[in-house]
């Protein structure tokens, strides 16, 4: 037993002195639990509202009321105007612009309240939705919020729509006879004048403003028949495997970061085995060693991403060829950014174990926050701001533009520029660090 205790003490000591192991054991799970807690537990402060484009073409009070209720929603934010590049003032968004904004990926959904939102002859209310299911979860959430708002905030509307639904089959004279018979019965048994009853049954005289007063009705399955959603998918209709097409970029970026960091930190292995020392004794400059490693890891990253996309094409039918030029640009930009991350980690750490431990923490956190695992809209607002500081975010955005929206270069220019700039700036800093660091 004594020996077991001695050995146990040794095991604890060995674990405690292994800092990367301690980090991976305690810090990483804590950080990931924190991120998931913010998403699913709602403890992350104010959850960011999902922006949707909103166009109202109906002046019906109910349409205005619906707008005001959606405006006060905790889950969505209505975007009604936008500023075009080069213009000083914002302009109101019309239906065509709404479609364009969705198509270009600026917003995922547009809700249009058309001129025929509700008419005298309507048996249902009419809403139009234009959407880009690049983010399926987001789209489902928006749709749910709109339905919930209508069902809970406009219950007064339903009696009218119910009756319209009921009398729809009773056309012309039959309807008049039906109303007259009903009025006779009510008058006979409740003593109300028949004219008053008939007047109240004349829907053409109903004021929609009155409908907004009182009422506690709630919807059921039948309700879906009285709200007519005219949904139109604007992007990705012809994509063979939407799920994989949407997510392949995020996963590819995460695995790229893992492999690239491993390749960059192989400097430590070379140092340990003495081959780095041997190389430095030759007429070879440190910068040449670093550049060789940099170029190698970039080419490795490019090849790895290409292999992953080719695999996605072969197995899942993801279309990588119709916009291959832009896809390749994003691949190169992502590889440059990922390599700079690997070089930075290598330049600031003291050993292979330390580099891998720290890299693991950063890669998993960046992947979670940057959109490699789940859409960033699920994160609280402040964390969405942080997510923009990760290379995963820009890479995922660019891959989505290329693969999902078949976007031209102009639309990927910003993320590509950010990835390249990040790559070069971070790598420059890493180069400076290398000269002072522990590698040489």
Partner 1 sequence: MTNIIEIKELIKVFNDGRKNEVRALDGVSMGIPHGVVFSLLGPNGAGKTTLVKILLGISYPTSGSIELFGENFRNIQLKKRIGYLPENHKFPPYLTGEKLLKYIADLYGYRPANLDKRIAQMLEIVEMSKWSKTKIKNYSKGMMQRLGLAQAILHNPELIILDEPTDGVDPIGRKKIRDLILRLKAEGKTIFVNSHLLSEVEMISDSIAILNKGKVVYSGTVDELTTQKQIYEITLNREFDDYIKFKLEGFQVVDWKERKFRVKIGKESELQRIQQILQENNYLLLGLNQVKTSLENEFISLIEKTGNENE
Catalog residues that contact partner 1 under the rule CB under 8 A. 273-275, 277-285, 440
Of 69 and 286, CB closest to partner 1: 286
| C-beta of residue 136 within 8 angstroms of C-beta of residue 378 | no
Q: Tell me how far apart the alpha carbons of residues 20 and 6 are, in angstroms, rounded to a whole number.
A: 24
Assign residue 285 a region: left if phi > 0, alpha if psi is -120 to 50, beta otherwise? beta
Q: Tell me how far apart the alpha carbons of residues 66 and 11 are, in angstroms, rounded to a whole number.
A: 65
Q: Tell me how far apart the alpha carbons of residues 414 and 183 are, in angstroms, rounded to a whole number.
A: 68
CB of 383 to partner 1, least distance (A): 33
CB of 289 to partner 1, least distance (A): 11
User: Dihedral (C-alpha) 101, 369, 419, 267: value to the nearest 10 degrees?
Assistant: -160
Of 174 and 285, CB closest to partner 1: 285
CB of 348 to partner 1, least distance (A): 13
Of 170 and 292, CB closest to partner 1: 292
Of 173 and 281, CB closest to partner 1: 281
The 8-class DSSP code of residue 27 comes to I
CB of 275 to partner 1, least distance (A): 6
Of 225 and 285, CB closest to partner 1: 285
CB of 263 to partner 1, least distance (A): 15
Residues paired with 130 in a beta bridge: 110, 232
CB of 258 to partner 1, least distance (A): 23
Kind and range of the H or E run holding 247: helix 242-264
Of 222 and 291, CB closest to partner 1: 291
φ, ψ (nearest 5 deg) of residue 8: -60, -45
Of 121 and 275, CB closest to partner 1: 275
CB of 299 to partner 1, least distance (A): 19
Residue entry with tokens 């290598």: 346
| C-beta of residue 228 within 8 angstroms of C-beta of residue 127 | yes
Q: Tell me how far apart the alpha carbons of residues 348 and 437 are, in angstroms, rounded to a whole number.
A: 7
Q: Tell me how far apart the alpha carbons of residues 248 and 318 are, in angstroms, rounded to a whole number.
A: 9
């Amino acid at each position: 037993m004594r020996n077991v205790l001695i050995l146990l003490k040794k095991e604890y000591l060995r674990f405690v002195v292994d800092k990367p192991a301690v980090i991976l054991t305690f810090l990483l799970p804590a950080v990931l639990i924190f991120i998931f807690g913010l998403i699913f537990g709602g403890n992350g402060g104010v959850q960011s509202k999902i922006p949707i484009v909103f166009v109202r073409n109906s002046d019906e009070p109910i349409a205005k009321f619906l707008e005001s209720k959606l405006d006060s929603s905790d889950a969505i934010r209505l975007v009604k105007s936008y500023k075009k590049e080069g213009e000083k003032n914002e302009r109101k968004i019309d239906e065509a612009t709404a479609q364009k904004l969705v198509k270009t990926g600026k917003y995922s959904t547009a809700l249009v309240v058309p001129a025929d939102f509700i008419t005298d002859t309507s048996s249902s209310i009419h809403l139009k939705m234009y959407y880009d299911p690049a983010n399926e979860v987001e789209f489902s959430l928006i749709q749910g919020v709109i339905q919930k708002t209508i069902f809970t905030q406009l219950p007064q509307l339903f009696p009218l729509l119910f009756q319209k639904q009921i009398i729809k089959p009773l056309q012309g004279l039959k309807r008049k006879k039906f109303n007259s018979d009903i009025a006779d019965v009510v008058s006979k048994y409740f003593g109300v004048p028949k004219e008053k009853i008939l007047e109240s049954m004349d829907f053409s005289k109903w004021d929609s403003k009155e409908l907004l007063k009182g009422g506690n009705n709630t919807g059921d399955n039948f309700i879906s028949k009285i709200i007519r959603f005219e949904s139109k998918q604007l992007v990705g209709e012809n994509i063979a495997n939407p799920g994989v097409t949407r997510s392949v970029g995020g996963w590819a970026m995460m695995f790229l970061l893992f492999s690239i960091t491993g390749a960059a930190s192989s400097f430590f292995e070379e140092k340990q085995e003495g081959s780095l020392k041997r190389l430095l004794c030759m007429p070879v400059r440190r910068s040449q060693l670093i550049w060789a490693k940099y170029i190698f890891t970039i080419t490795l990253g490019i090849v790895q991403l290409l292999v992953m996309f080719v695999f996605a094409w072969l197995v899942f039918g993801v279309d990588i060829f119709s916009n291959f030029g832009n896809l390749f640009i994003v691949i190169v930009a992502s590889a440059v950014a990922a390599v700079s991350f690997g070089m930075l980690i290598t330049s600031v750490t003291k050993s292979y174990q330390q580099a891998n431990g720290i890299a693991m923490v950063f890669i998993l956190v960046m992947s979670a926050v940057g959109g490699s695992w789940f859409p960033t809209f699920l994160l609280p607002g402040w964390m969405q701001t942080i997510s923009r500081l990760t290379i995963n975010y820009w890479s995922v955005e660019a891959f989505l533009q290329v693969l999902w929206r078949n976007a031209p270069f102009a639309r990927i220019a910003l993320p590509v520029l950010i990835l390249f700039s990040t790559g070069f700036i971070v790598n420059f800093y890493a180069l400076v660090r290398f000269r002072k660091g522990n590698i040489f």
